[in-house]
Amino acid sequence: MTTTKTFFIAAALAAVSAFAPAMADEAQLARGKYLTGIAGCNDCHTPGYFLGKPDASRFLGGSEVGFEIPGLGVFYGPNLTPDKETGLGDWTVEQIVTAMTTGVRPDGRHLVPVMPWPSFASLTPEDAQAIAAYLKSLPPVQNKVPGPFGAAEKPTGFVMKIIPPN
More confident residue, 109 or 5: 109
Region 136-146: mean pLDDT is: 96
What is the predicted pLDDT for the residue at 157?
87
pLDDT at 78: 96
CA distance 114 to 94: 22
Q: What's the CA gap between 93 and 166, in Å, rounded?
A: 40
Q: How far is CA 151 from CA 75, 115, 148, in A?
A: 10, 18, 10
Instruction: Provide the residue ranges of all domains of the chain, joining segments of one domain with +.
Output: 38-161
- Residue 19 pLDDT grade (very low, low, confident, very high; cuts 50, 70, 90): very low
What is residue 161's DSSP assignment? E
Distance between CA 125 and CA 96 in Å, rounded?
12
pLDDT score of 2: 58
Say if pTM beats, i.e. exceeds, 0.95.
no
Q: What are the tens digits of pLDDT across the range 71-101?
A: 899 999 999 999 999 999 999 999 999 999 9
For the chain, the straight-line distance linking the first and the last C-alpha, in angstroms and rounded, comes to: 81
- Kindly tell me if the per-residue pLDDT of 54 is higher than 80: yes
**DSSP string for residues in 36-91:** HHHTTHHHHHSTTGGGT---GGGTTS--SEEEEETTTEEEEPPP-S--TTTSSTT-
